[in-house]
Structure 1
Amino acid sequence: MTGSRREAPSTADAAVFRPVRAGNAFEETVERLLQAIRLGVAVPGDRLPAERELATRLGVSRVTLREAIRSLHEAGYVESRRGRYGGTFVNDVLPTPHPLSDRGPVDLPDTLTLRHVLESGAAESAASRPLDQSDHHNLRARLQDCLTSDITEYRRRDSRLHLAIAEATGSASLTAAVADVRMRVTELLDTIPLLEPNLAHSNEQHERIITAILNGNPDAARKAMAEHLDGTASLLRGFLA
């Protein structure tokens, strides 16, 4: 895949650039592109497959692919070159990962598994119980905070929304457990760049989650939260795994 060569995809190449699942197309596209770079399928100086080919292989729209490539360009992983031999190339020098805090490394798979169980369960539980006016107001206010947030405040407001969902379960123990896992997730998120297309997509998912909870639909709330968490997990695995 280096330079202008046109080679048949290798087994590893085909494994990385396989179709993404529906629901989190942007996040999974970023994950696949980062996997290609981190696993050496596309090394520094390599040109990625042409846009039309890559979009077809990943099963995403060219708009989604362009958003993913633009995000990785802004994060310092790729660059675009014009001309006859142009395209998207892996940068010769890749970003150095931001170190985690002095509290020690966070176990990524363990954190993602725990978060999935706790937060999808919390959404389902919140939607299963009668909520009072205070609950409704708190959930709507936290959602609005996310919808109107600028990029510098987003992660803090996002955490507030997820904690509000846990609080709506009425379980102090579950809320404490969610708060603990959110600390671990935030520590991981602070090591990767904020991607604006992901924030817009997250807010769409937040609206579906809160609507399902306020409508008393536990199954929809669990599924919407699980899909939302899968998107974040894709980005974390892409940048950190």
Structure 2
Amino acid sequence: MSDEQSSAVIERAPARATRPQSRRVFEDVCKQIRQDVTLGKLRSGDKLPSERDMAEQLGVSRAAVREALRALEASGVLEFRKGVYGGAFIRDMSSTGVTMSISDMLSLGNLSLDNLTETRTCLLSFAVRMACERATEEDLAAIEASLEQVDRATDMNSRIAGIGAFYTLIAAAAHNGVLQILIEAVTLIATDLLTKLRPQTVGEGLSQRRQPIVNAIRARDTDTAVHLMEVHLGQLHAYVDAHGGAKVLQSK
């Protein structure tokens, strides 16, 4: 990381500048860090200055900086690392923040299992449509390998990991980064739910049930592929709902 990158957050304000404090001053700090990320002055993996340095340069309290950093961590922009070389770092682009937000809303009862399934169905139906146009042979081979992983798995955790991979690899085959992040987010929640439910039959017969989806994508048969995915997700929803999935979601 260059000196220019590491000082991006603090270069706009003169040293020891002062300005009126307010309960929401931390939002200004958040805004500035987000702006630096948007402009490319801060990139994935860059380490932010210390709380003290940021507070001095921005003319705000350390408490305001600390609150801003925690808010950015909660939203998935930052991650904190421990140790001698630890600190606040710009997180790699991922679905973590989206997953946390949706998961929190589900736990609070503001979202339902029906909401989750409807969203997954919309996202994955669109991903399948895009995959029919854009998927490469490597994409299709990876999706099929995920099916084989579940069939070969000898423990529940490996099976569930393979199930999650099936959906995220279809998202990858759509070659749309935003869509991939959203699908990864809802898939993490769905696989976490399966882990908690631990149904005895999860993963059994996976290839037989999902291979037709892959075949339709390979054949570039969009209508069939989308229909098969929607039917599959509807069946999965009914199974999870029958096993108390809604209650588990809100008890996380």
- State the TM-score, normalized to the length of structure 1: 0.52
* Mapped pair 1:133 → 2:134: no
Query: 2:215 aligned to 204, 211, 217, which one?
Result: 211
* Mapped pair 1:202 → 2:206: yes
Over 3 Å counting, the alpha-carbon distance change for 1:158 and 1:205 in structure 2 is: same
> 1:181: which partner in 2?
186
Measured in 1, the distance between the counterparts of 2:131 and 2:182 equals 15
Quote how far apart the aligned CAs of 1:112 are.
Answer: 1.1
With a CA cutoff of 8 Å and minimum separation of 6, indicate the structure with the bigger relative contact order.
Answer: 1
Query: 2:172 aligned to 163, 167, 170, which one?
Result: 167
Measured in 2, the distance between the counterparts of 1:202 and 1:220 equals 18
Secondary structure of the structure 2 residue equivalent to 1:194: coil
Query: 1:114 aligned to 113, 119, 125, which one?
Result: 119
Secondary structure of the structure 1 residue equivalent to 2:196: coil
Q: What letter is aligned with 1:192?
A: L
> 2:227: which partner in 1?
223
Secondary structure of the structure 2 residue equivalent to 1:191: helix
Secondary structure of the structure 2 residue equivalent to 1:204: helix
Moved over 4 A (4+): none
Query: 2:197 aligned to 180, 189, 192, which one?
Result: 192
**Offset from partner CA, 1:23-59 (integer Å, 9 cap, x none):** xxxxxxxxxxxxxxxxxxxxxxxxxxxxxxxxxxxxx
Quote how far apart the aligned CAs of 1:195 are.
Answer: 3.0
Superposition pairs of residues 12-91 of structure 1, within 5 angstroms: none
Over 3 Å counting, the alpha-carbon distance change for 1:134 and 1:200 in structure 2 is: same
Measured in 2, the distance between the counterparts of 1:224 and 1:150 equals 27
* Mapped pair 1:237 → 2:225: no
> 1:8: which partner in 2?
none
Quote how far apart the aligned CAs of 1:118 are.
Answer: 0.8
Measured in 2, the distance between the counterparts of 1:149 and 1:176 equals 26
User: Gapped runs of 5+ residues in structure 2?
Assistant: 1-102, 247-252
Report the RMSD for the aligned CA atoms in angstroms: 2.1
Measured in 1, the distance between the counterparts of 2:146 and 2:159 equals 11
Quote how far apart the aligned CAs of 1:199 are.
Answer: 2.7
Secondary structure of the structure 1 residue equivalent to 2:208: helix
Percent identical residues:
20
Q: 8 Å contact 1:119–1:225 — kept in the other structure?
A: yes
Query: 1:145 aligned to 140, 145, 149, which one?
Result: 149
Over 3 Å counting, the alpha-carbon distance change for 1:147 and 1:123 in structure 2 is: farther
- State the TM-score, normalized to the length of structure 2: 0.50
Indicate the structure (1 or 2) with the bigger Cα radius of gyration.
2
Q: 8 Å contact 1:202–1:228 — kept in the other structure?
A: no
**Greater share of residues in helix:** 2
**Offset from partner CA, 1:64-98 (integer Å, 9 cap, x none):** xxxxxxxxxxxxxxxxxxxxxxxxxxxxxxxxxxx
